[in-house]
Homo-oligomer: A and B are copies of this chain.
Amino acid sequence: MQARPRFADLYEALGYTFVDEKLIIQALTHRSADKMHNERLEFLGDAVLGMVIAEKLYLQFSAVPEGNLTRMRATLVKGETLAEIGSALDLGNYIRLGSGEKKSGGHRRASILADAVEAVLGAIYYEAGLDVVKAVIHRLFEDRVNKLNPKAHPKDSKTQLQEWLQARKQPLPHYEVISITGKDHAQTFIVECRIANQSLSTRGSANSRRRAEQEAANAMLGSLNDV
């Protein structure tokens, strides 16, 4: 009995069989493993995925305003979602890593998986064109698209930050006006956002206190996501 070809399970899971095996190998090669790595394909795949999802949402949710479409797309293409899809495709079994990266766990590993998903999609687009990659993406994202709630309002940064902290049982942030400068009709507010046990602070500046708080919360979300 003949052994199953190397990528047979992956091709089945993707619903696409590569003609050029070198291409899928490159898409699954982290830069730590080889000079022919997947970063350029990831660049291409990220753009293709963003476009296919944008079109899908545009067509499927024809009465939903742009702000909600943007939020829905962000949910679908964020690293966390892509890492889940990479796991479901079992990409971890195929990705070639350098010896240093093999030991990395958790967050680092998720981001390698997410990048590989994008690179694989870029490679399919490169080899087979838009219609084929569209069919692959639609199938991979179908359940997630159907679960989206198009009516949910995009959450403002202060709300997002509060939920992020509550989910991790962290103390809530404090906002403090640091300075108000400028004439009455053109004031600039600088607000600091501080989280006690994170020893982190960020600032936001805007022409209203409310807006400066949102900017500071947004900067804090950025800092927390980088950690």
Contact = CB atoms under 8 A, between A and B. Distances in A.
Interface of A: 39-40, 42-44, 46-48, 50-51, 53-55, 58, 65-66, 69-70, 125-126, 130, 178-179, 188, 190, 199-206, 215, 219, 222-223, 226-227
18 contacts: A39-B66, A40-B65, A43-B69, A47-B50, A47-B51, A47-B53, A48-B51, A48-B55, A178-B199, A200-B203, A201-B203, A202-B202, A202-B223, A204-B226, A205-B223, A206-B227, A219-B219, A222-B222
A222 B223 contact: no
Given A201-B201, A219-B219, A44 B65 contact: no
A206 B44 CA distance: 28
Contacts of A215: 223, 226
Contacts of A46: 54
| Chain A facing B: main interface SS | helix
A40 B70 CA distance: 10
A109 B178 CA distance: 29
Contact of A43 (B54, B203, B204, B219): B54
Contacts of A178: 199
Contacts of A204: 223, 226
**Which interface residue of A43, A55, A65 has the most chain B CB atoms within 10 A?**
A43
A72 to B, nearest CB: 10
A65 B47 contact: no
A44 B54 contact: yes
Contacts of A47: 50-51, 53-55
Given A43-B69, A69-B43, A200-B203, A223 B219 contact: yes
A190 B44 CA distance: 34
A127 to B, nearest CB: 13
Given A39-B66, A46-B54, 8 more contacts: A40-B58, A40-B66, A42-B66, A43-B54, A47-B54, A51-B51, A205-B227, A219-B222
Contacts of A130: 130
Given A40-B69, A47-B50, A203 B206 contact: no
Contacts of A54: 43-44, 46-48
